[in-house]
Every structure is written in structure tokens, then in C-alpha cells.
Amino acid sequence: MKLYCPNCGEEIPKKDKFCKYCGKPLENLESAHYNEEEIIRTVENGYAVAAILTDIITTPLFKIKQKDGQPMLNEEGIPEFEADKNGVKILNKDKMIKIINDSQDSVEKYKS
């Protein structure tokens, strides 16, 4: 079992009374041990959060014009957006709501 300083997080020998990295006394070595499963779960949750945020921020804010199920691109290869009669871009509301709801479902899986 590896032990870690509760102050600086560096790995420490079990017999030490002080951390050789930060100098803090190691009065209670039980508190110096981080549960490896907890660390792994925290890292995995971080990956899950990153994936969820990626889904959200890569969803276009505005509706993209489509033709035969494919995005319509201008001469520069940039997607064209749908607009209302006043030329105001139309929000991609349905897609955004779906992504947010899917993300909330994903979050439920990772709650501890």
C-alpha cells in the first residue's frame, strides 16, 4: 500500500515522521493514504465531464441549413445558418435541449 502526504500529495515511506518534500509532520498516517479506487473514480469522472462538455460545446448554437441531410456550405466551406424573415439566425433550440438532456442522463451514471 502506497502512502501519500496529505499536505503535498507526494509518496512517502511509511516509517517517516515528517514529509521529506514539504516538511509537514505525519502524525496520522491513516490520513496520508488516499484510496486508489477513489482516485481512479475521480479521474474517470473527470473524463466523463470532459466528454459531456465536449458534446455541449460542439453543438452548433444556430441551425445549419441542410440539403438532402447534408449541411449546406458557402464558397469558403463554412456552414450556412438558417435565418428568419428578418435575417436573424435561428437558434438550434431542439438540438441544444436534446444535448443538455442527454448530458444530464450521463451525469446520473457518474454520481457517487
At residue 66, the pLDDT reads: 94
> Higher model confidence: residue 107 or residue 21?
21
Average pLDDT of the chain?
83
Is the predicted pLDDT of residue 81 greater than 70, yes or no? yes
What is the band of 32 on the pLDDT scale with cuts at 50, 70, 90? Answer: very low
Return the C-alpha torsion angle 23, 28, 29, 34, nearest 10. -90
At residue 1, the pLDDT reads: 58
Q: Please give the C-alpha separations between residue 81 and each of 13, 54, 56, 66, 74, in angstroms, as whole numbers.
A: 61, 21, 18, 9, 10
